[in-house]
Amino acid sequence: MRKFVIAGNWKMHKTLPQAVALASDMKEGLRTLEEIDIIICPPFIALDGVRDAVQGTKICIGAQNMHWEAEGAFTGEISPPMVQDLCTHVIIGHSERRSHFGEADTMVNRKVVAAIAHGLTPIVCVGETDDENRAGKTREVLDRQTTRALAGLSAQQAAAAIVAYEPVWAIGTGRAASPAEANETIGLVREVIGREFDAPTAAAIRILYGGSINPGVWPDIIAQPEVDGGLVGGASLFAEDFIALAVQTRAAYAASLRP
Ligand code: PEP
């Protein structure tokens, strides 16, 4: 059974004191939800403070990005060993990294490989743009992004990674994919993983949905059989909403375990 995940991507929001305050506000509400994996991904400068703020809970800390080299002359970048000191997870290939900072599939792959080499679980983002969706290219885009992002991994490494299907047209737009769309497209990504690796890997890997998740739409999406959790942007900046999403995720996980 795939353990469900709820992950919050705080993006470029919150100063250090604000981030610590938000994590402290979330801590109690999330403490008892240990059946699922809960990951919060604050900005780099707040990783240490947020990690301290949630100490004593099972909440995991993730980075939003990192370089693939262990060290070197890369001004402004953060390396895997730096991330590894503070985090268990790292988001790789978010569509905002791809579109604003030119991250291509090869770069995404280097980062995924580096994350695994440093004992970090990558949360690998894939997703088609609105234009690609309208042009009927969703399958082609997701096949390419998924295949290239996971290239060179062993089946065991791939199975332990997390993929997030985030349609670009749904991110920050208030227009989430329908439950059926999310289910079908995640099924497609799983199919690609089955072809590139094997059936057990496809059955084991967790694939999340991301894009305008809020507590109003989430129960119907997370109830879909292919959806193993969510990557949340905007709603993760509000303790009450993120806790509600985590509670809903735990309820869906419990329901999925019932025969
Ligand atoms: C995201 O950026 O990963 C995301 C899913 O954002 P939002 O929930 O705000 O659409």
pLDDT tens by residue, 141-200: 999 999 999 999 999 999 999 999 999 999 999 999 999 999 999 999 999 999 999 999
Cα–ligand 1 centroid distance for 6 (angstroms)? 12
122 ligand 1 Cβ < 6 A:
no
Q: Quote the pLDDT of residue 259.
A: 81
Cα–ligand 1 centroid distance for 94 (angstroms)? 10
171 ligand 1 Cβ < 6 A:
yes
Structure tokens at 141: 């885009």
Q: Quote the pLDDT of residue 36.
A: 98
- Mean pLDDT throughout 220-236? 98
- Mean pLDDT throughout 233-247? 98
Q: Looking at ligand 1, which atom is closest to the CA of residue 214? A: 8
Q: Quote the pLDDT of residue 12.
A: 98
Residue 1 has pLDDT above 90, yes or no: no
Q: What is the rounded distance in angstroms from the CA atom of residue 114 to the CA atom of residue 79?
A: 9
Phi-psi region of 152 (alpha: psi -120 to 50; beta: other; left: phi over 0): left
- Residue with CA nearest ligand 1 atom 7: 233
Phi (first) and psi of residue 146, to 5 degrees? -70, -45
Residue 131 has pLDDT above 90, yes or no: yes
- Residue with CA nearest ligand 1 atom 2: 233
Residue 52 has pLDDT above 90, yes or no: yes
Catalytic residue among 128, 132, 166, 181: 166
Residue 121 has pLDDT above 90, yes or no: yes
- Residue with CA nearest ligand 1 atom 1: 233
Mutate to test the pocket of ligand 1, among 232, 237, 242 (most ligand atoms within 8 A of CB): 232
Average pLDDT, the chain: 97
Q: Is 100 exposed, middle or buried (0-12, 13-18, 19+ CB in 10 A)?
A: exposed
Q: Is 134 exposed, middle or buried (0-12, 13-18, 19+ CB in 10 A)?
A: exposed
Per the annotation, the verdict on 100 as an active-site residue is no
Q: Quote the pLDDT of residue 113.
A: 98
Q: Looking at ligand 1, which atom is closest to the CA of residue 213? A: 8
149, 105 Cβ separation under 8 angstroms: yes
- Mean pLDDT throughout 27-32? 94
Per the annotation, the verdict on 166 as an active-site residue is yes
9 ligand 1 Cβ < 6 A:
yes
Catalytic residue among 94, 118, 128, 181: 94
- Mean pLDDT throughout 4-19? 98
Tell me, what amino acid is at 190? R
245 ligand 1 Cβ < 6 A:
no
- Residue with CA nearest ligand 1 atom 3: 233
- Mean pLDDT throughout 66-84? 98
Residue 222 has pLDDT above 90, yes or no: yes
